[in-house]
Structure 1
Amino acid sequence: MITIIAAAGENNELGKDNDLVWHLPDDFKRFKKLTTGHPMIMGRKTFESFPKPLPGRLHIIITRSKKYTPKVPEGREQDVIVVNSIDAALIKASIDTTPFIIGGGEIYKLGIEVTDRIELTRVHGTFEVDTYFPEFDKTQWELVLKEKHEKDEKHKYAFTYETWERI
């Protein structure tokens, strides 16, 4: 089951200047819990936004560049694969039954047609961004889980976890 995982604002805002525009520690914990042990498909910019590869996950990077060599700490080379298409990424990810597509915006657009599930954290606010989550036809999807998280001392914005499954 291929799963997209994303956090997006009320108008599908994802981020600006290759970074998130909110800080939601509980959402980070959920991301870690869901993705650990599974391959993650991402674009080059998303990979480069991490200080280093995330532990316990294979990073499959999609880039148009045939010469791209990611900066990877010594001993972590086996945690990173570079491919040039979503199809190649899905083939590499097929070693696992639950690969995740983790962004950015262009990779979400490529992956939305082949995805079985969307784990969407809807951040309740509007934001100035340069990257957006793609619109998806909700008539082709069923909302199977909706869990609200209120604003608190650690979270400047309220948000809702939504799990969508393709019908």
Structure 2
Amino acid sequence: MKVTIVAAVAQNGIIGIDNRLPWHLPEDLAFFKQTTLGCPVLMGRKTYESINRPLPGRLNVVLSSDPSWQPAPAKDGTPRSLIAYPAELPAGSTTQIASATNLPNALSWLNGFDQVFLIGGSNLYQQALDQNLVDELILTEIHESFDGDASFPDWDRTRFIEVGRTVNPASAERTWGFDFVKYARVNVATNTAI
């Protein structure tokens, strides 16, 4: 199973403020959807609660240290169903919410899938990078600094190699550009992407 971090990161490392994105970038939201659709997405509880609904067309796995955590009801008041670890999981393209209490359990639970995307927040990113669990990073690198209270963790750039970049220059709508960048983990023995 390939474990991929997906994040949009400002020039100063900021990824969020008050549990929301500090910028408006529709191209990034479309890119995120296109990248993750049909695959499980793994996120922390605060990230899920900032979205406040399951992302459609994806199995949404929420990490919460509280084993009794439940998602908020839908807007119409209908309770949302929850699959708790270690129950059987549906296909990655099924819109469902699942929960686990820690990252190792969640990843072992998802081991039958080809790819899982870690979509936030900063604590989840930090854990995955610290435990050397990440195979690739797909980052939207924003060429502007923003105020915020959540940052992307420092990561060892010698352990990853850039394998793709799409440049999006500044435009009439925004004074700053951004790049979609893919980094693959390096095979230490050959110094090539895994």
Q: If the TM-score is normalised by the length of the shorter chain, which range does it land in?
A: over 0.9
Verify: 1:80 aligned to 2:100, yes or no. no
* Corresponding residue number in structure 1 for 2:28: 27
Q: Name the CA shift for 1:50/1:156 in 2 (closer, same or farther; >3 Å).
A: farther
Question: Counterparts in 2 of 1:89-108, with a 5 A limit?
Answer: 89-108=106-125
Counterpart of 1:49 in 2: which secondary structure?
A: helix
Conserved 8 A contact 1:23-1:156? no
How many residues matched? 167
- Give me the CA root mean square deviation: 1.6
Verify: 1:157 aligned to 2:158, yes or no. no
Conserved 8 A contact 2:8-2:140? yes
Matched-pair identity in %:
32
* Corresponding residue number in structure 1 for 2:41: 40
Listed as ranges, the gaps of 5+ residues in structure 2 are 83-95, 187-194
* Corresponding residue number in structure 2 for 1:115: 134
Q: Name the CA shift for 1:20/1:156 in 2 (closer, same or farther; >3 Å).
A: farther
State the alpha-carbon separation in 2 of the partners of residues 82 and 155 from structure 1.
Answer: 38
* Corresponding residue number in structure 2 for 1:49: 50
Higher RCO (C-alpha 8 Å, min separation 6) = 1
State the alpha-carbon separation in 2 of the partners of residues 48 and 17 from structure 1.
Answer: 12
**Which stretch shifts more, 7-16 or 68-77?**
68-77
**Shift, 1:155, TM fit:** 4.3
**Which stretch shifts more, 75-84 or 24-33?**
75-84
Conserved 8 A contact 1:2-1:114? yes
Q: Deviations over 1:106-137 (max 9, x none)?
A: 01111122010000001111111111111111
Counterpart of 1:31 in 2: which secondary structure?
A: helix
Q: Name the CA shift for 1:28/1:154 in 2 (closer, same or farther; >3 Å).
A: farther
Q: Deviations over 1:124-157 (max 9, x none)?
A: 1111111111111111110011111112244453
Residue identity opposite 2:41 in structure 1: M
Counterpart of 1:21 in 2: which secondary structure?
A: coil
Larger Rg: 2
